Every structure is written in C-alpha cells, then in structure tokens.
Amino acid sequence: MDRKSENMKTHQKLIIEHYRQANLEETITAAYERAGMNQISHDDTAPLDEFHIRGRAATRELAELAGLKPGMKVLDLGCGVGGPARTLAAEYGCNVTGVDIIEEYIHTAKMLTDRVGVNDKTTFLHRDMMEYPFENETFDAVWTLHTTMNIENKAELFKNIRRALKPEGIFILYEICSGSVSPPVYPVPWASDASINFIVDGEELQKLLKNAGLEKVYWQDVTESSLQWYKKLVSQPKKKTGHKRKPGINLVMGDTARDKMKNVVLNMKENRIRVIQGVVRKKS
C-alpha cells in the first residue's frame, strides 16, 4: 500500500470511530416504539435526522436559497441518516443520491426513508466521498451540510464536485469554519480531537472553491443566527409528563452528545468557529 492509501485508511478509521453508533437502526426503532410512534411521518423525524445547526429550518432555507426545483438531480455528500435528502425529495421534488462513510447511517437512512415513504426519490450509498466515482456532468446540484470539516484535501474534493456538476450546476455548502481563536474546544459533533478536524477560515474556503472553478453566487456568515437558535432551543419549556419527546439527534451523536452541543455554543461565543452558508456555480 502506498503512503497516500495508507493515510486514507487511517483517516477513514478515525472518522468511523468518531461517528459510528453500533446498532443505530435498532436503537432508533426502539425509541420510536417507546414514544408510542408506530407510524412516523417526515415531520416526525426532524428532531432526529438533520445533523447540523438549525436542523430542518436550515435545510429548507438552503434549498430556497439555491432554488432547488422538482426533478433536479442532487448529490448529498456526507448525508448522515438522510434527513436533508428526504427533505429535498419530499418537499422540493428533487431526486437525491446520498453518500456517507458510516454504514450504520446508510442503513438507518434507508430504514427511515422506507418508514416515512419517500423512497422513490432517494438513493443512499455507503461510500467515502473521497473515493466516490464522480461521473462527469451528472448532477444539477451537489450539496454538503456540515461535512467538509472532516475533509483534509478540500481542493481535490471541490475539483471532483465541479466535474460531477452539469454546466451551470451549483454547489451548496453549509459548513463550520475556523474563527480568530484556535483550537476549538473538543469534543464537537464532527471531531473528538484534532485528528479529524480540518476546518479552515471562510476566506480560505472561498479561495479553494474559486481555484476549483466554482464561482461565488451567495455567501453568508450565519454564526449569530445559529447562536440565537441554540438559545431558543435551551430555553424551551420541558414537555409536561404524559407528552413523550420525539426521538432526537442525541441518538445519532452518541453518549457525548450533550458535551458536543455545549462546545459548539462555547466555540461560537469565543469565536473559535464560524458557521457559513454558500452557493457557488460551475463556471463554463
């Protein structure tokens, strides 16, 4: 095995160790059963399957910003358990291919999709996005939500994304960037330590996109509204007894979910991380 392949294997191992939750499908199925939810809808899964700041609201905001329309072919890189892909399929009529490196996430994505019933418009594949065979000019849009923080070679990824886009196709990102203070306080949802944290600042990210031939259409720092969202979330009154909570993202994030979320807020407050959303277009 050459050095590049060896590094790749080590990196994959670290990513899998960080995200993988054994028996995730069974855990989630049991949680819905305990909550008395034998039938679930796409709305019911929102607290559980949108693994990024501002949850489903952010997914919708991005889909609107990007102008996603029925029939568009979308590639979702690092799709997690499939919440954003299902939202694009169920609410925007897109045909979505979701790719994720965690096998349990892909199984869970398929199970939830079957249960909420949008499976004719989604395909989920267990793949490392750095090894995904990006075919030329296949997608109207590529999107990635809170994943490039784990990608060291962003230049190569962006080059491949450009190749996969049809002419004038768009790439939508919703990502964590570094702030003026470093390092972030760990654990965070995307890393337990520095070994798989590859955040760069917003300017660097824009430079990498430009160098890959992707032209800026829209760019916004949404750190402030992200902080407001967290404040609102923690100040929500607890549900009265008798009203069971719907299963949430903590099941996907595992035992340290609370610390990870707390550190996201701390890191935003201390300007250790910034949250950005952007849309770029393939230049002809």
Ligand X SMILES: C[S@@+](CC[C@H](N)C(=O)[O-])C[C@H]1O[C@@H](n2cnc3c(N)ncnc32)[C@H](O)[C@@H]1O
Residues that bind ligand X (CB under 6 A): 15, 19, 50-52, 78-80, 83-84, 99-102, 105, 128-130, 145-147, 150, 189-190
Alpha helices in 236-274 (DSSP H): 250-253, 257-269
Q: How far is the CB of 76 from ligand X (least distance, A)?
A: 7
DSSP 121-156: SEEEEE--TTTS---TT-EEEEEEES-GGG-S-HHH
DSSP 13-74: HHHHHHH--TTHHHHHHHHHHHTT-SS--TTTTHHHH--STTHHHHHHHHHHHHT--TT-EE
Q: How far is the CB of 126 from ligand X (least distance, A)?
A: 9
Q: Which is nearer to ligand X, 146 or 274 (CB)?
A: 146
Q: How far is the CB of 237 from ligand X (least distance, A)?
A: 26
Query: How many CB atoms are closer than 10 A to CB 89?
Result: 24
Q: How far is the CB of 108 from ligand X (least distance, A)?
A: 10
Q: Which is nearer to ligand X, 36 or 50 (CB)?
A: 50
State how far Cα 145 lies from the chain centre.
3
Q: How far is the CB of 13 from ligand X (least distance, A)?
A: 12
Q: How far is the CB of 17 from ligand X (least distance, A)?
A: 11
Q: Which is nearer to ligand X, 52 or 154 (CB)?
A: 52
Separation of alpha carbons 52 and 248, rounded Å:
12
Q: Which is nearer to ligand X, 79 or 168 (CB)?
A: 79
Tokens of 113: 């999709």
Q: Which is nearer to ligand X, 33 or 156 (CB)?
A: 156
Q: Which is nearer to ligand X, 33 or 131 (CB)?
A: 131
Separation of alpha carbons 265 and 97, rounded Å:
31
